[in-house]
Amino acid sequence: MTTFTGRGHGKLILSGEHAVVYGHPALAVAVDRGAEVSLRRIDGPTRTCAETLCDVRLTEALKAALEPTGWEVSVKSDLPIGRGMGSSAAIAVGLVRAQAAAAGETLDLQTVWERAFAAERAFHGTPSGLDQAVACRGGMLRYLKGPPPIFVDLPCPDQAIVVLDSGEAGDTAQLVAGVRARRPGIDPVLDAIGELVLRVEAALPDPAAVGPLLTENHALLQQIGVSNPMLDGLVQLALDHGAWGAKLAGAGGGGVVIALTAEPESLVEVARAHGVDAFVCQTMPGTTVP
């Protein structure tokens, strides 16, 4: 029986999370992890392959995006769920592409983004569209929320990024709502994040220069209330072991910390010795294939 498959990239936000929801630019990069969604025609009600998904809301969102009968959907993903690595956006993009393959459609990147954005709304409430943008385009991207959204593909340095997993999932919708509730008091901090994004972009070819800006970004994310002692501790761990800089990446409240360092493997070893699940991600150049 024919299987229709689509993929989406995982991502890491270098700078600009949360501020991007309020019209500031953000900088994010695709990594060598992602999600693959497969669709197979079946008789009877649409179902998901249980072993591939452990997130109930995600399973429901996938089912909601499909016709009520006739499909079996399965997901292979090496992105931790709810950790700020864009797992749900990668799945949404994978699903859109698998559906297009099943319908014999060829989609351009803009259409993939639009359809995945609609699916993500069901999952996250009020996403900026950044995660879907990287999930479908790959590469390094400066993103400005619309309408219309502005996507600027930037040169993608071949860069190792150390990911330190807090082991806890953050609830993006709740964290975004929390930031919204703290406005307008925190608006100057959101403005400062927006300005920092442009400094990070200017420093991009030199990870040793980007690092301290990431640490600065983390301090601003603390001020808007989305970090926690675990994430602060992981940033400190990275800095104590020679990283150029580190920050939480994604919505916060859990999720992951990213670090730039000259010695990625040794930072991973140190983190593991501290009982932290850590791994190295490699940046992925952009795709022109829809």
Positions in the binding site for ligand MEV (CB under 6 A): 13, 17-18, 20-21, 84, 127-128, 130-131, 172, 176, 250-251
Shortest gap between Cβ of 19 and ligand MEV (angstroms)? 8
Q: How far is the CB of 214 from ligand MEV (least distance, A)?
A: 15
User: Please, what is the minimum distance in Å from the beta carbon of residue 85 to ligand MEV?
Assistant: 8
Q: How far is the CB of 224 from ligand MEV (least distance, A)?
A: 10
By C-beta, is 18 or 115 nearer to ligand MEV? 18
| 172 vs 227 by CB, closer to ligand MEV | 172
Q: Residues with Cβ < 8 Å from 214, sequence gap 6 or more?
A: 14, 15, 200, 244, 245, 246, 247, 258, 259, 260
* Contact in structure between 13 and 249 (CB atoms under 8 Å): yes
131 is catalytic: yes
Of 71 and 151, the one with the shorter C-beta distance to ligand MEV is 151
Distance CA 241, CA 236 (A): 9
Q: Which of 131, 187, 232, 277 is catalytic?
A: 131
The residue with its CB nearest to ligand MEV is 128
In the complex with ligand MEV, the residue whose CB is nearer, 12 or 39, is 12
Separation of alpha carbons 212 and 233, rounded Å: 16
Tell me the closest approach of the beta carbon of residue 268 to ligand MEV, in angstroms: 23
CA angle 274, 278, 282 (to 5 degrees): 150
CB nearer to ligand MEV: pick between 139 and 250: 250
Residues acting as catalytic residues:
131
